[in-house]
Homo-oligomer: A and B are copies of this chain.
Amino acid sequence: MGLPATARIDIGRFWTTIERSGEIGVGRPGGLSRLALGDADREVRDVFIAWCREAGLSVRIDGIGNIFARRPGEDDSLPPVVMGSHLDTQVNGGRFDGIAGVLGGLEVCRTLDQLGHRTKRPIEVVNWTNEEGGRFSPPMVGSGCFTGAYTLDWALGRRDDDGRTIGEELDRIGYRGEMEATPRPFDAYVEFHIEQGPILDREGMQVGVVTGGYASTGMLVEFRGETAHTGPWPMERRRNALIAGARLLVAVDDLGWEHAGSGGKATASRLVAWPNKPGILSDWAQATCDVRHADPETSAVMAERVRRAVHEAAARADCTAEILDVWNWGGKVFADELIEQVRATSLGLGYRTRDILSQAGHDAYFVARHAPTTMIFAPCRGGITHNNQELCTPDDLEPGLNVLLHTVVARANR
C-alpha cells in the first residue's frame, strides 16, 4: 500500500528540532559555529542520536564518524533509500545549511511512524562527518571516505590548523564508530538542502529540482621560499612565499571576475604563511582556492588557468610551488530517474518548481559515484549562507520536505 497523496510532514515538529539544534554551538547572533568534531558537534550528534532512538531508528556509526539511523523495511535485506546531509557548520555558519537535510530525514521517518507506514525497502538518515571543511581539509571527508574516494587512514590523519587530527578528535568526542567506513549498497540517496544561492528566493520558487552541480575544482597549493630581512635584503634576491601566495589569490579573484558574466566563480579563501610576521620574509605559504562554472569545459579552462597562475605566482616571487591536492566535484552526476521523480513529485504537490544547478559542494556528489542520487533545494533568504544571517522560515522549507517525503517513500516502495 502506497503513502496517501495527502501525507505531509509536520513542519511544527520539524521546526522544534531546528530550533533545538540552533541552541548548540551558538555563534554570532542568529548563527552557528559548530565546527566538525568540536564539543558542539559532539553535543548535536548526541541530541540527534537521542531523537533517532526515540523515533525507533537503530543507530550505527562508522570509522570516520558518519552516523546512520535506520528504519527497517518490509524486506530489510534490500538496500536502503538514504536521506541526509551534515550537522557541522562553518565557523560563521547558519542554522539550516546541511542541518535541514539531516533533521528533514528524521522528520520523514517521524511522519511515516505517525502514519503507521512501513516502506518495502529500509530507509536511513545519515549525518556525514566534516562536510564543511571549515576545520579539516578536505571538505566532505565523511562521504568521500564512505564511498571510497579517500582511504580511512588518510582521512583520519587530516589535521586542523592546530595540528589535531580527525582521528584524535573522533576519539576525543567518542565518535569513532565500529562500523566499517566502506561502501555498502544504497538503493538511492536523496539530499535535501537549502539552495545557498539567491535564485529560488528571487524567483519566488518553492522547490529546486537539482539537475547537477557547477563543475568545480579545488586546489591546495604550497609555496616555498626563504626567510630574510624585510629591510636590507635586495628585492632581486627575495623569495617571499607570502607574496607568491598573495599573487595567486589575486590571479584567482581576477579569474572569477573574468567569468562573472556567465555565472562563473573563482575564489581564494585561505592563505597561511610562516613566519608571517613583521620584519621577516616568509619561507612557506599555503593557499586554498577553487573555480566553479556551470559549463564543464569552461570550468576545466578555469582550473587550467589556476594551475598556470600557481606557477606564475611562484616564478614572480622566486619561490617553488607544489599543488598538494586537487579535488573535483559537481557536473551532471545525478540520476535522471530520481531528478524526474523529484520534478514530478514537486509539480504533483502543486509547488512552484524549477530546475537548478548547485553551485556548492555537497556530500551528494560523492554518493552519486556510488548509488543513484539527487538533491532537492529549498529557498533561503537572499541566498545568504556561510554567514550568521542565513535565514529560512518554515514556509521556505515545508514544500521541499514534502517532496523529500514522497520521493523517498515512492522510491522505497517501488
Query: Interface on A for B, CB 8 Å cutoff?
Result: 90-92, 132-135, 137-139, 195-198, 214, 216, 218, 226-236, 240, 242-243, 245-247, 249-250, 253, 256-257, 260, 264-265, 267-273, 275-283, 288, 290, 292, 317, 358-361, 383-387
B265/A242 in contact, CB under 8 A: no
Identify A139's interface contact among B197, B269, B279, CB under 8 A. Answer: B279
A256/B235 in contact, CB under 8 A: yes
A-B contacts, 15 of them at CB < 8 A, read A90-B277, A91-B277, A132-B279, A133-B279, A197-B231, A216-B231, A226-B387, A234-B260, A240-B253, A242-B269, A246-B247, A246-B250, A247-B253, A250-B250, A270-B278
B235/A257 in contact, CB under 8 A: yes
A277 to B226, CA, bound (A): 25
**Identical chains in the assembly:** 2
A55 to B182, CA, bound (A): 71
A387/B228 in contact, CB under 8 A: yes
A228 to B242, CA, bound (A): 24
A214/B195 in contact, CB under 8 A: no
Residue in B closest to A316 when the chains form the complex, CB atoms? B253
**A255: shortest Cβ distance to chain B, in Å?**
10
Interface majority SS (helix, strand, loop, mixed), chain A: loop
Known pairs A242-B269, A243-B253, A280-B269; A92 contacts B233 (CB<8 A)? no
A275/B92 in contact, CB under 8 A: yes
A317 to B257, CA, bound (A): 11
B249/A197 in contact, CB under 8 A: no
Known pairs A198-B234, A247-B250, A249-B243; A276 contacts B272 (CB<8 A)? yes
The 10 closest A-B pairs by CB, nearest first: A197-B232, A246-B249, A232-B359, A235-B260, A231-B360, A230-B267, A246-B246, A229-B386, A231-B359, A280-B386
Chain B residues contacting A260 (CB-CB under 8 Å) are 234-236
Chain B residues contacting A292 (CB-CB under 8 Å) are 231
A270/B265 in contact, CB under 8 A: no
Known pairs A232-B360, A235-B265; A92 contacts B280 (CB<8 A)? yes
A271/B271 in contact, CB under 8 A: yes
**A80: shortest Cβ distance to chain B, in Å?**
29
Chain B residues contacting A236 (CB-CB under 8 Å) are 260
Given contacts A232-B358, A232-B385, A269-B282, 9 further A-B contacts (CB under 8 A): A91-B280, A139-B279, A229-B360, A230-B269, A235-B265, A243-B253, A246-B246, A246-B249, A246-B268
From A91, A246, A256, A387, name the one whose CB has the most chain B CB atoms within 10 angstroms: A246
